[in-house]
Amino acid sequence: MHAKREKLSLFIFIDAFGWEVAQRHPEFLKGLIQDRKKLETILGYSSACDPSIITGRTPSEHGLWSSFYYDPDGCPYKWVRFLRFLPNAIFQRGRIRNQISKLIKKICGFTGYFQIYAVPFKHLPLFNYAEQKRIWEPGGLPKGETIFDLLTQKGIPYYVHDSDVADDVRFERLIADIQNQRIDFAYCSLGRLDALMHAVGNDDPKISELMQDYDIKIRTLLAAAEENYEEVAWYVFTDHGMHNVTESYNLIADIEALGLGWNTDYVAFYDSTMARFWFLDESSRAPITELLASHPKGRILPEEELKELGAWFEDGQYGELIFQLNLGIQMVPSFMGIEPLKGMHGYHPSDSDSFASLSSNRPIPQSITKIQHIHQLMLTELGLD
């Protein structure tokens, strides 16, 4: 039997495995978890949360918040404007839009996650894309360093998931690295739960089946780690929870009813739970603000609150006005999708189903209260704090 390697630090990310979902699955890793905590998430989507986890910083500090932002001069895929002539029947096909996303990514040389979702082709050239580089590699962020920059600088061998392969393949590759004792650190993200809850909501029986599958695979992973390392520190965590969608609402129709000129008076990006506005003609600010200030389906997020949440950008990069839909309401249609879903995230971090979860075989310090604090746990386990 071969000698064991000294220590392995395992960070296993289950997308959307929020605190409330975790409470409904007490059998998950039962008998292995020593400590668990509820963590506050970041306002926004995974495009904001994931960089915060691997940097320990907020979007205001690392520069990534929403995927798209208004930048017609800097947009690298202006040629897609010619696709606006495609009929709606083609435009609305997810498979075709996915292939076009891959084409844009290849032409532009993007290495990060890229998807055009349901952004109309006639509007797409107005928006640049924030995550052009793969954030799981050194140099992946616009500002600051990630844990992967530090691992590379220190010469620490590590595993990080490949976003282009399925969860099962990610497990297989990580176990192979563990059995061959090639790594001292691992960061493995799993995406099936997030996709499932978007489709069925957060309390469907299919979720229990998936969590049982994850339980078996993670136990196998941990057993391999114990066989090959003298010390194993592991953390299972997430970036946000998932809310059941209770209502769809067409906010775009309300804005268009004002009769303002698109790309002359204003431009907006319509996320699933937020609308972000840029005012090209200052006279458009008042009617849009007045409409949204008294809107029954949501509220404008004031500057001070955005600063507290770490999502304020002085230059208005991601929007000069941010409107947040109320809990459980999905914007349909939006630039992210034209059909209602059963589950959605991206609501206010204070909503109960927004909270993330963190479990470990170690005591979790009281100072760990937000998802960006997971970065501190990584540094501690690596002896770099």
Q: Say if domain 5-60+135-244+349-382 classifies as CATH 3.40.720.10.
A: yes
- Domain chopping of the chain, boundaries: 5-60+135-244+349-382, 68-129, 246-340
pTM, two decimals, is: 0.96
* N-to-C CA span, the chain: 34
- The token pair that represents 154 in the structure block: 């220190």
- The three-state (H, E, C) secondary structure of 122-177, written as one string: CCHHHEEECCCCCCCCCCCCCCCCCHHHHHHHHCCCEEECCCCCCHHHHHHHHHHH
Q: By the 8 A CB rule, do 379 and 154 touch?
A: no
Predicted local confidence at residue 290, as pLDDT = 98
The class (CATH top level) of 246-340 is: alpha beta
Report which residue type is found at 45.
Y
Predicted local confidence at residue 89, as pLDDT = 65
Full pLDDT tens readout for the chain, 385 residues: 689 999 999 999 999 999 999 999 999 999 999 999 999 999 999 999 999 999 999 999 999 999 999 999 999 999 888 777 776 666 667 788 889 999 999 999 999 999 999 998 899 999 999 999 999 999 999 999 999 999 999 999 999 999 999 999 999 999 999 999 999 999 999 999 999 999 999 999 999 999 999 999 999 999 999 999 999 999 999 999 999 999 999 999 999 999 999 999 999 999 999 999 999 999 999 999 999 999 999 999 999 999 999 999 999 999 999 999 999 999 999 999 999 999 999 999 999 999 999 999 999 999 999 999 999 999 999 999 8
Predicted local confidence at residue 385, as pLDDT = 83
Q: By the 8 A CB rule, do 322 and 274 touch?
A: yes
How many CB atoms within 10 Å of residue 122?
A: 15
What is the DSSP track for 99-122? Answer: HHHHHHHHHHT--S----TT--TT
Measured distance CA(371)–CA(385) in Å, rounded: 17
User: What size, in residues, is the chain?
Assistant: 385
Give the CA-trace dihedral at 257, 262, 268, 271, to 10 degrees: 70
